[in-house]
Amino acid sequence: MSRRAYRGVALAALIFLVVQVGALALVPTFFEQGYQTVEDPSDPTNSLLYIGAIIAMTAFMLAAFKYDLDQLIRLVIVFTSGLLAWYVFAALVPSALVAVGLSAAVALALLVYPEWYVIDAAGVLMGAGAAALFGISFGLLPAIVLLSVLAVYDAISVYKTKHMLDLAEGVMDLRIPVVLVIPTTLSYSILGNEFASDANEVSDGGNATDGGESAAAAADAEADTAADDSDPGDRDAFFIGLGDAVMPTVMVASGAFFSEAPSLGFGALPALNLPALLAMVGTFAGFSGLMWAVMKGRAHAGLPLLNGGAIGGYLVGSVVAGVPLVSALGLAPYL
């Protein structure tokens, strides 16, 4: 890889790390403030309901793009960004008024000046908040089911039906934090007139068309990559779906909150235990594989590698910590 490509990969890795550490830091506070969204976190049907919601949202967004309702999607995502930012700020600042003001500022910045660093900052807030919420709401078995099914769905939607490529094409044009923007040069700006046309130059994994842009892009829980025949590392930016950062972090947060393993006693992250730590390590192992594939210039689904790494790392961490595998899988209540 070129030096520019290494810078981009390093920035993407830093964003993933901030999302994971942020989620771990928010887990105890979110639980104390009653943010748990389900009555029985151990019920695996919670995962199936969420997966159904993802599929429904995907269908809605594809229909919206087809009927030129792009701005409706943009407004929905910006509102969601502000809402998740409020969850995070409400947990971090003592004043409710300040939390509302900060979250409103995030939404306003996305509307009036959606430069790449604004999008990425909003994405980090959304990612950490969403992963912490799901982490305390999805027990170990539901989290494993959720990540496993979404990994399969991601692979099908990228390699088979390829509708996620169509969705990525529409989403990137809106400049919203569903997609993280990873520049490889400091001079890059997403606000240039050519961004929309370049972002839409997404192929199905072969050659990109006129724009010569390569992208790793996604909506909700998927990421796809497209490239032309030139060196993918020479592009000015690439794009990674926010869901690729959020979904494996759900396993990290769930493992930290629900696992029987003791805390590692790390003061700033009291929820961190060995299963959660190795889930993070596994995520970055999957991330390394994904970035290697991305730089080869082919379209790839991110979640099979990322979720697989997170689940595998979590299970290894559980065994090393002395947690019985049945308990680690969340099957003890059913046996």
Q: Between residues 207 and 129, which one has the greater pLDDT?
A: 129
Q: Rounded to an integer, what distance in angstroms lies between the CA atom of residue 26 and that of residue 320?
A: 25
Any domain includes 199: no
- 3: its two tokens: 């030096």
- How high does pLDDT run on average in the chain? 84
Reference 314, options 264, 265, 277; nearest CA is 277
Any domain includes 89: yes
Any domain includes 196: no
Q: Is the pLDDT of residue 214 over 80?
A: no
Tens-digit pLDDT profile for residues 46-57: 898 889 988 898
What is the structure's pLDDT at 144?
Answer: 96
Reference 164, options 196, 126, 205; nearest CA is 205
Any domain includes 212: no
- 58: its two tokens: 């995907």
Tens-digit pLDDT profile for residues 275-328: 999 999 999 999 999 988 887 766 678 999 999 999 999 999 999 999 999 999
Decide: helix, strand or coil at residue 204: coil
Any domain includes 210: no
Q: What angle do CA 21, 217, 195 make, to 5 degrees?
A: 115
Any domain includes 333: no
Q: Between residues 105 and 172, which one has the greater pLDDT?
A: 105
Asked if residue 263 lies in contact with residue 179, where contact means CB atoms within 8 angstroms, the answer is: no
Q: By residue range, what is the domain housing residue 284?
A: 1-191+220-327
Confidence label for 221 from pLDDT (cuts 50, 70 and 90): very low
Sequence letter at residue 87: Y
CA atoms within 13 A on the CB side of 286: 27
What is the structure's pLDDT at 135?
Answer: 95
Q: Rounded to an integer, what distance in angstroms lies between the CA atom of residue 85 and that of residue 123?
A: 9
Q: Rounded to an integer, what distance in angstroms lies between the CA atom of residue 48 and that of residue 149?
A: 9
Q: Is the dihedral of CA 107, 111, 117, 120 positive or negative?
A: positive
Q: In which element (H, E) is residue 39 found? A: none
Confidence label for 239 from pLDDT (cuts 50, 70 and 90): confident
Burial of 217 (0-12, 13-18, 19+ CB in 10 A): buried
Any domain includes 200: no
Lowest mean pLDDT among 10-14, 231-235, 275-279, 320-324: 231-235
Asked if residue 199 lies in contact with residue 172, where contact means CB atoms within 8 angstroms, the answer is: yes
Q: Between residues 162 and 245, which one has the greater pLDDT?
A: 245
Lowest mean pLDDT among 59-68, 74-83, 159-168, 231-240: 231-240
Domains contained in the chain, number: 1
What is the structure's pLDDT at 299?
Answer: 65
Per DSSP, what are the bridge partners of residue 180? 240
Q: Is the pLDDT of residue 2 over 70?
A: yes
Q: Rounded to an integer, what distance in angstroms lies between the CA atom of residue 302 and that of residue 309?
A: 11
Confidence label for 197 from pLDDT (cuts 50, 70 and 90): very low
Any domain includes 226: yes
